[in-house]
Amino acid sequence: MLQQHLQQKNKSVKELIKSKVSLAPMAGITDYVLRSMVRRYSKDALLTTEMISSEFLAQVKESDITKTDENHHPINFQISGHKPHLMKAAAEYLTQKADMIDINMGCPVNKVVKGQDGCALMRNPSLAAELVQAVKEGTDKPVSVKFRLGYTFDELNYVEFGQQMQEAGAEFITIHGRTRSQFYADKADWGKIRDLKRNVDIPVFANGDIVSIETAEQCINESEADGVAIGR
């Protein structure tokens, strides 16, 4: 089992997303039990943990959120924060467990964005780029980002933002086809995800309103994405 993990740890993004499906991170939902259940029925899907605060990790380290088994691989650990040194430290700690490390830049929850985390980072692309660079310094695993179309409809900066994250070193993008102001209302705009896909050179997974095999196929056709992240 240890040898299997050692073989996993240096896999490329292409190998990690070969199933074209990932489990989207959901607070209080994508825990150890759910990840174990998903893995029982899918040996290749990229699992993702709940969002883990880099500030929390700096104080507590081990928690139920970071619990994992060898059979959970491939697995992406998602971290949040806005302080580069803490994000780097979180990446250093999680490297021993993760196949990929994701930075949350899309959470719309008030208490998250008020702390300058989550989707608030889409209003501060320079800081977001610093975070990508800091996490890259802390790990030898692929680094990904998850974000939205923008903070509001007047701030649809997803294409430019994605390009800046790629330039900073991100190797994989998951994008939710809504703005922060929409939360989970209205329909996810898969067409806009296509705009992003056509303007970056790294893999893009689409997220939002994927509830069946049929909607997954429709989303991939409309978005031209490399795969889908399945959430609520």
Q: Which residues are catalytic?
A: 107
Closest CA to 145 of 224, 65, 48, 67: 48
Count Cα neighbours of 96 within 13 Å in the Cβ-side half-sphere. 8
Closest CA to 195 of 160, 169, 154: 160
Residues β-bridged to residue 184: none
In this structure, the number of other CB atoms found within 10 A of the CB of residue 151 comes to 19
Rounded to the nearest 5 degrees, what angle is found at the Cα of 99, between the Cα atoms of 116 and 85? 35
